[in-house]
Structure 1
């Protein structure tokens, strides 16, 4: 379970969608008060495996909140996600015990990798979706999707995908052989990165097919949406 202390609804939504796509549960705290009330009701464990914390909050300071967090749960890892980019702020955050300090604007994929790496080093939790390398077969072609490196390889050759293409491919693979509507793909994969219409879904799928080199990997089901046609090896 990943906790997010962030007052921006849009940023929390982005983080939640990306983390949930990786298989993690997410608990959101718009205010410091919300986090403090939640932690006050925890007994033996903090209820989250890691905290992502903003610094500038309407009802408090993330630095101070992290200090209180460390007093009660000294082994709970946390990282700061903030617009405060000065070196002095970074140093303060790390001195507070943060495992990492990420400055806004940030890359969603990079943040996921940082979270995954942090938890892996701690040995506390693994993403239930991220099981490493997944292989799919279509005819005589072999497609590999590597969750640990966020890479896709076709016949061993790496394919460069955008964040949206990576997310769409992962969603289609995870639901195969289910047919997914454009609306479902839009909601699960694109709204979180502010790319907003069903026509945009078609464009991303078209580009994804081109990069995969074979349109048969992703079938268009007329009147419904798309289906991934590879067979899991």
Structure 2
């Protein structure tokens, strides 16, 4: 039997929590609830969840604050739920470290599909780590990406990335010196269009560079901006 999947559903509206719990429980996921930001952050830090569904507008700490504070300690995948569909809110969510974004009113089936997609990406490797298969590892000076373990180390220090940050780095690093347009990265890494919201890519690149830079300035410099086009991965020796 596979590992039990634990999901934290955070919303100040009980009817939304109940609706999400009903649909997600059908997938045999274990659901826990929180009704405000303070409770959500406390539970998220104390427990290990596979996914957190996090409402943006809540009393006390809002979803952005919860996500920012969580990201200082953990890389638990977060799907932000919000009644605001404006572009600026999507960008703020991604800057705070959100992995995905669903605008209310939403279809519960869509939420289930998004949760499954994140679980697939985050747990693709859980069974590979114990099998003596050929390891999928990208090794560069100052940077190693162990794709089987979804583990990134820069100058010997592990870099704690969210699933989306990791996928973006891996996608770029698989093709050194190839320039990728933002539109292509949105389509390939996010797997569906965000209505041309290209700043999604920019905010993730910024966060990725910041995290890499804490471990190695050389590793951070490997993600190169190609002005007016997009980004590429360029190997830096020194």
TM-score (norm 1): 0.49
Q: Which one scores higher on RCO, CA 8 angstroms, separation ≥ 6?
A: 1
Bigger radius of gyration among the two: 1
Please report the TM-score for the alignment, with normalisation by the length of structure 2: 0.48
